[in-house]
Amino acid sequence: MTQNYDAIVIGAGVMGASISYHLAERGLKVAILERKVSASGATGHSSGLVRMHYDLAAESELTFKSYQMYFSNWKERVGGECGFQQTGFLQIAKREHEDKLRGNVANQQKIGINTSVISVDEVRKLFPDLVTEYFDYAAYEPDSGYADATLTTNSFIEAAKRNGATLIQNCEVTAIQTSGGKVTGVSTTKGNFSSPIVVNAAGPWAKHVAALAGIDVPLVTWTHDVAFLHRPPALGRIPACIDDVINCYYRPEGSALILAAGEDESLRGEAPDAEDQTPTPTFLEKLIDQMVQRIPKIEQSGLHSIHVGRDGITPDQRAIYSGTDLGGFYLACGLSGTGFKTSPAAGASMSELILDGTPKTVDITPFRFSRFSEGKLLEGEYGYGHIWK
């Protein structure tokens, strides 16, 4: 027996959950189909940064709107909890990138983001335990911090359910049904579902799901190691930080831990369901060596745990938010490790694209799928180069 819905969203990670919430809020009957359980893929392993500094203004606008409209007043806007913690955020740039740092901050200030370029003296006043060698300036966002990706996802899903959506877990999509150049539904391990709208938000599985519809999406899997370190008792306040000098990012994790990860040595091209979830052999030793350059007290720390996450990454390391040549079939994938912090505004914009034909919350047309065939890959206005080496 075929079940009928107004929209089907494939994937119950944070992006699929956000899109489902926004579609259901508009009155659609939505089915969220998840091959395992909600937030079990890239979302469940997200580092959860909520920051607005990007070298592409469109990404900064997505994160700003996500913070301004959602993370800063989550209970009132969505309901439930997102776990947002305001720690401040630093973007530390290499000396040769000072002009780019200033250009990006100027672009972000035009959008309305509370950000500024501060000197190393100001960094030391804010965060005395950070060594300030090898850079002269940083971008500082006092409003930013981090949130809990699983709480955020579950809040979106519960809110979507309150508006009539249905979450169906352990339900793998096995075929995309089409007729006359339009999508008509999907076949799954739990039966057939009919809908004129299907959204592919399947994370590292998105290329496979798109192929079921005869669409080749240029993404590969990207596997990323993240460590949780015990916080040294003598360590003072630290921000969420992307540190291009030491090729790391880090943030507090509650009061007892520090989350930290490198920006290089991530693996590419593993199967989406690869069972090997062990970190790369040199990950921890290299990470500690890098971290003590910035926070010497990390030498007094110890390892709590490591987890390994997997997402889809595109050639320009930017997301795809787009319709396709197959009528009613949409892509919200290739998030390249940046999907969490953009998910509220991206979900709202996708729902507007789907229902109104034009996104209003944020103009997401730069993230169109056709940019790859057009040869118009996204580049930052003041680019730092690829995040993931």
Condensed to tens digits (0 to 9), the pLDDT of residues 242-300 reads: 999 999 999 999 999 999 999 887 889 999 987 667 888 899 999 999 999 999 999 99
Domain that holds residue 366: 1-126+147-223+312-389
Q: Is residue 351 part of a domain?
A: yes
Q: How many domains does the chain have?
A: 1
Give the distance from CA 180 to its chain's centroid: 34
Amino acid found at 294: R
Q: Residue 389: what pLDDT?
A: 65
Q: Output the 3-class SS for the chain.
A: CCEECCEEEECCCHHHHHHHHHHHHCCCCEEEECCCCCCCCCHHHCCCEECCCCCCHHHHHHHHHHHHHCHHHHHHHCCCCCCCEECCEEEECCHHHHHHHHHHHHHHHHHCCCCEEEEHHHHHHHCCCCCCCCCCEEEEECCCEECCHHHHHHHHHHHHHHCCCEEECCCCEEEEEEECCEEEEEEECCEEEECCCEEECCHHHHHHHHHHCCCCCCCEEEEEEEEEEECCCCCCCCCEEEECCCCEEEEEECCCEEEEEECCCCEECCCCCCCCCCCCCCHHHHHHHHHHHHCHHHHHCCEEEEEEEEEEECCCCCCEEEECCCECEEEEECCCCCHHHHHHHHHHHHHHHHHHCCCCCCCCHHHCCCHHHHCCCCCCCCCCCCCCC
- Domain CATH code at residue 84: 3.50.50.60
For residues 208 and 221, what is the distance between their CA atoms, to the nearest angstrom? 11
Q: Is residue 111 part of a domain?
A: yes
pLDDT interval class at 176 (50, 70, 90) = very high
pLDDT interval class at 57 (50, 70, 90) = very high
- Higher-confidence residue of 80 and 385: namely 80
Q: Is residue 307 part of a domain?
A: no
pLDDT at residue 104 tops 80:
yes
Amino acid found at 56: L
Q: Is residue 282 part of a domain?
A: no
Q: What is the mean pLDDT of residues 66-91?
A: 98
Q: Residue 315: what pLDDT?
A: 97
Q: Is residue 33 part of a domain?
A: yes
Query: Considering the entire predicted model, what is its pTM?
Result: 0.98
Q: How far apart are the first and last CA of the chain?
A: 48
Q: Is residue 173 part of a domain?
A: yes
Asked if 240 and 88 count as a contact pair (C-beta separation under 8 A), the reply is yes
Q: Residue 277: what pLDDT?
A: 76
Q: Is residue 383 part of a domain?
A: yes
Tokens 């997200």 locate to 46
Q: Is residue 340 part of a domain?
A: yes
pLDDT interval class at 50 (50, 70, 90) = very high
